[in-house]
Chains A and B, each alone.
Chain A
């Protein structure tokens, strides 16, 4: 075995270790935020007033010792998380569970959109660009898709219509989302504008312009809401397995998984992907190596915007069947998804499913318990906070794990040798 092969193998091992570590950190973050969330539920349960305590904490009574103290809480944290996670899947533990139930459908519906927004953020992130504007790109893509498909739906009908219109709508969403994403990209590349600020501001512009356009140009005269005319059924994603009223299509979900795989291949196996990652990790080195930094920034933002726009197209063609102002914050959730996934496209699919569960579970929590559904928003923030500080878990691991074996230290010290975490991926072919 040549030295080169050996080095390559060692490198690959490192990459895998890093991926495992990142997955562990994501899981630990989830667990930690659930714990903190439970504490918040308990504290809030003390603050709120209710007729009867939903949850009682009492001192244990072994061998007939009288109860010393008991505290009642208005909210039951166990019930909250039971509803949040199991309720979102339609209670998979119960007998007679139908995997095609309504809650599962909601979860998968949210997942399908979040995969695209998550990929959008992750791709830009990989290029070293912080695209907070996925929300705006999604809105632009969604409106463009709704209008374009409405126009095109008059020409074709039936199964042929579906085959033609759905890809057409997705394409239009991608083009418009991509163009809208290219604006902050160009501003960053050629005018040295901070993309965090420009993309956030472009979100406001997108929703404002969309509101104006829908209200004054594309408004459905038959509806009091600010929405476009509903699209005909043959222009929408066909609901293959699920009942049509759930607004979810396995095809869109598969398309999302395909996109995740596509972005993975693009980043790992193509020259463009290599350039993109190189500019993200070390712009100066990438430029020295011949990468056109400006063009890469614009291209990655365009691609990122296109993915956000596809998310909008899926939202219109699968969930709503029309464009409506007040689009849910899929773009912002996309940031959370991407961060939780460590910007790994395949991880995005998993993280999108988790956030699909959280979003769908929110409604279940709202129905089944008295706990305010905004709790899920807090959980989302906590997850990101914990993911942001891997050092916390490394410290914890160092405390908990005994230092008996040399490898034990290595696990902890892996955090210490952080630079490898970055140059690993940079050096990987």
Chain B
């Protein structure tokens, strides 16, 4: 446990993510310091704006759809399917949620409808990618374009305008629980208890004053946040747990990093990928629902209200950037990830089968493919299992030479 923690810390500090996080913190600290020292300067104004509870609450609210979609992207990407259609999933979910809210006026039904719509579209994407071996990038773009047309189309059919009617928004905690004070109703400061001893009172005043400020700040942010923010935090924790602490999470990692090993272990790679892509649909659905119910309306003009949030979500889930837990060194190796974002220049080659062939290409020099397949064949299990998903196709590219020509390698 301690070793694991140490390793995590070492990776955080040593990795590029650590550098980025450190730089961000450093900038914030510098801004805060400057703001405290020179309250009248532009830095002071900026610091007051950045460190206001309202700003933090808004930032949290705006990050909900991006974070949820990014979680979905991580699930899909780790399983070996790069889901560039997150934007489209957000769009359909945003519309379906508002429509369901308009019809039923139930928060739960609205969220479920958004999730359902998004998951259906993700299912279409999964079938196209896994069953029909479509190029993932192109299929993902198609998902986005379909949603970009479909949601305003449906809105036009139902509401006779690209924008829907307004509906109820997601409540904040004080709106739900009447007993709690609202975000603006908190006391400005917490008075320390007086003991009558001069020195102790002074110490108390300083300590309680500082601590009180922090507590009040956090409380104000929490009270101003809608339920969506709590949902996001819950989803982040759950996703982390599923990805890193469960067997299913290990399957997802394996199906992206070494599908052949997973297959040999007797797990159906395609099923794991289906599950992961559908999960990305569920999470994006929550994100889209939170987005449109945060505003209480779906606006479908131009790039719709989603307006690139799904694409921003791809950035953190992209393996090449800063996906949690994946070490950068792995990205350059010949591991069979079909998530390489490089298109195969119009050849409609399945990136999945190429992921296998790339694996062959990378390992062929060390071990001849025959020596890998023959034991499996003699056992009778592994090889048959391989055949079930694409082994028959791959049998043709067993020779490393054809793979070197055919496979895409990670750039």
Complex partner residue of A391 from B133, B150, B302, CB under 8 angstroms = B133
Give the CA-CA distance A280 to B321 in the complex, in Å. 21
Instruction: State whether A422 touches B349 (Cβ < 8 A).
Output: yes
Instruction: State whether A391 touches B342 (Cβ < 8 A).
Output: no
Residue B156 lies at the interface, judged by CB distance under 8 Å to chain A: yes
Instruction: State whether A372 touches B138 (Cβ < 8 A).
Output: no
Instruction: State whether B134 touches A388 (Cβ < 8 A).
Output: yes
Of A62-70, A142-150, A158-166, A190-198, which binds chain B?
A190-198
Residue B308 lies at the interface, judged by CB distance under 8 Å to chain A: yes
The answer to whether residues A47 and B149 also contact, given A384-B141, A385-B142, A419-B357 and a CB cut-off of 8 A, is no
Residue A291 lies at the interface, judged by CB distance under 8 Å to chain B: no
Give the CA-CA distance A41 to B201 in the complex, in Å. 75
Instruction: State whether A377 touches B153 (Cβ < 8 A).
Output: yes
The answer to whether residues A427 and B347 also contact, given A200-B308, A378-B149, A381-B144 and a CB cut-off of 8 A, is no
The residue in chain A whose Cβ has the minimal distance to the Cβ of B404 is A285
Instruction: State whether B157 touches A194 (Cβ < 8 A).
Output: no
Of A4-12, A89-97, A124-132, A232-240, which binds chain B?
A124-132
The residue in chain B whose Cβ has the minimal distance to the Cβ of A48 is B157
Residue A283 lies at the interface, judged by CB distance under 8 Å to chain B: yes
Residue A389 lies at the interface, judged by CB distance under 8 Å to chain B: yes
The answer to whether residues A196 and B308 also contact, given A372-B153, A382-B142 and a CB cut-off of 8 A, is no
Instruction: State whether B396 touches A419 (Cβ < 8 A).
Output: yes
Q: Total number of A-B contacts with CB less than 8 angstroms? A: 187
Interface residues of A in 267-289 (CB under 8 A from B): 277, 280-285
Complex partner residue of B393 from A196, A336, A380, A418, CB under 8 angstroms = A418
The answer to whether residues A426 and B314 also contact, given A196-B341, A374-B156 and a CB cut-off of 8 A, is no
Chain B hits for A421, CB < 8 A: 347-349
Residue B170 lies at the interface, judged by CB distance under 8 Å to chain A: no
Instruction: State whether B149 touches A194 (Cβ < 8 A).
Output: no
Residue B147 lies at the interface, judged by CB distance under 8 Å to chain A: yes
The A interface is mostly helix, strand or loop, or mixed, namely helix
Q: How far is the CB of A325 from chain B (nearest CB, A)?
A: 12
Complex partner residue of A419 from B141, B144, B343, B349, CB under 8 angstroms = B349
Residue B409 lies at the interface, judged by CB distance under 8 Å to chain A: yes
Chain B hits for A282, CB < 8 A: 404-405, 407-409
Interface size class of B (residues with CB under 8 A): 35 or more
Q: How far is the CB of A222 from chain B (nearest CB, A)?
A: 26
Interface string of B152-163 (1 = CB under 8 A from A): 111011100010
Residue A408 lies at the interface, judged by CB distance under 8 Å to chain B: no
Instruction: State whether B346 touches A342 (Cβ < 8 A).
Output: yes
Interface residues of A in 389-417 (CB under 8 A from B): 389-392, 395, 416-417
Instruction: State whether B348 touches A128 (Cβ < 8 A).
Output: no
Interface residues of A in 1-40 (CB under 8 A from B): 22, 25, 40
Q: How far is the CB of B155 from chain A (nearest CB, A)?
A: 8
Give the CA-CA distance A192 to B132 in the complex, in Å. 31
Give the CA-CA distance A372 to B397 in the complex, in Å. 48
Complex partner residue of B132 from A344, A378, A389, CB under 8 angstroms = A389
Give the CA-CA distance A395 to B397 in the complex, in Å. 20
Instruction: State whether B145 touches A384 (Cβ < 8 A).
Output: yes
The residue in chain B whose Cβ has the minimal distance to the Cβ of A47 is B157
Instruction: State whether A380 touches B149 (Cβ < 8 A).
Output: yes
The answer to whether residues A388 and B135 also contact, given A127-B345, A194-B341, A418-B393 and a CB cut-off of 8 A, is yes
Q: How far is the CB of B82 from chain A (nearest CB, A)?
A: 9
Instruction: State whether A375 touches B345 (Cβ < 8 A).
Output: no
Chain A hits for B349, CB < 8 A: 418-419, 421-422
Instruction: State whether A374 touches B314 (Cβ < 8 A).
Output: no
Residue A186 lies at the interface, judged by CB distance under 8 Å to chain B: no
Interface residues of B in 297-348 (CB under 8 A from A): 300, 302, 308, 311-312, 314-315, 318, 320-321, 341-348
Instruction: State whether A389 touches B134 (Cβ < 8 A).
Output: yes
The residue in chain B whose Cβ has the minimal distance to the Cβ of A423 is B405
Give the CA-CA distance A376 to B145 in the complex, in Å. 10
Residue A379 lies at the interface, judged by CB distance under 8 Å to chain B: yes
Give the CA-CA distance A194 to B320 in the complex, in Å. 7
Q: How far is the CB of A264 from chain B (nearest CB, A)?
A: 14
Give the CA-CA distance A129 to B156 in the complex, in Å. 36
Chain A hits for B143, CB < 8 A: 381, 385
Interface residues of A in 140-187 (CB under 8 A from B): none
Give the CA-CA distance A6 to B255 in the complex, in Å. 43
Instruction: State whether A128 touches B141 (Cβ < 8 A).
Output: no
Residue A387 lies at the interface, judged by CB distance under 8 Å to chain B: yes
Chain B hits for A128, CB < 8 A: 342-345, 411
Q: How far is the CB of B391 from chain A (nearest CB, A)?
A: 13
Q: How far is the CB of A294 from chain B (nearest CB, A)?
A: 11
The residue in chain A whose Cβ has the minimal distance to the Cβ of B138 is A388
Instruction: State whether B139 touches A389 (Cβ < 8 A).
Output: yes
Instruction: State whether A283 touches B411 (Cβ < 8 A).
Output: yes
Interface string of B386-411 (1 = CB under 8 A from A): 00000001001100001111111101
Instruction: State whether B152 touches A388 (Cβ < 8 A).
Output: no
Chain A hits for B312, CB < 8 A: 201
Give the CA-CA distance A381 to B315 in the complex, in Å. 23
Give the CA-CA distance A425 to B406 in the complex, in Å. 10
Instruction: State whether B142 touches A384 (Cβ < 8 A).
Output: yes
Give the CA-CA distance A339 to B314 in the complex, in Å. 21
Give the CA-CA distance A423 to B407 in the complex, in Å. 9
Residue B173 lies at the interface, judged by CB distance under 8 Å to chain A: no
Instruction: State whether B396 touches A417 (Cβ < 8 A).
Output: yes
Instruction: State whether A339 touches B346 (Cβ < 8 A).
Output: yes
Residue A335 lies at the interface, judged by CB distance under 8 Å to chain B: yes
Give the CA-CA distance A395 to B127 in the complex, in Å. 14
Residue B67 lies at the interface, judged by CB distance under 8 Å to chain A: no
Chain B hits for A22, CB < 8 A: 348
The residue in chain A whose Cβ has the minimal distance to the Cβ of B128 is A389
Residue B137 lies at the interface, judged by CB distance under 8 Å to chain A: yes
Give the CA-CA distance A426 to B146 in the complex, in Å. 33
Instruction: State whether B402 touches A419 (Cβ < 8 A).
Output: yes
By Cβ-Cβ distance, the 3 closest A-B pairs, closest first, are: A377-B149, A381-B145, A381-B146
A-B contact pairs, 19 of them (CB 8 A): A40-B153, A128-B343, A130-B341, A194-B315, A196-B318, A197-B318, A197-B321, A277-B345, A332-B145, A336-B145, A343-B345, A374-B300, A381-B143, A381-B150, A382-B146, A385-B134, A387-B138, A388-B139, A418-B349
Beyond the given pairs A385-B134, A389-B134, A417-B396, 4 more chain A to chain B contacts, judged by CB atoms under 8 angstroms and listed by A's residue number, are A201-B312, A343-B346, A378-B153, A382-B142
A residues apposed to B, CB below 8 Å: 22, 25, 40, 44, 47-48, 122, 125-130, 192-197, 200-201, 204, 277, 280-285, 326, 332, 335-336, 338-339, 342-344, 372, 374-382, 384-385, 387-392, 395, 416-419, 421-423, 425-427
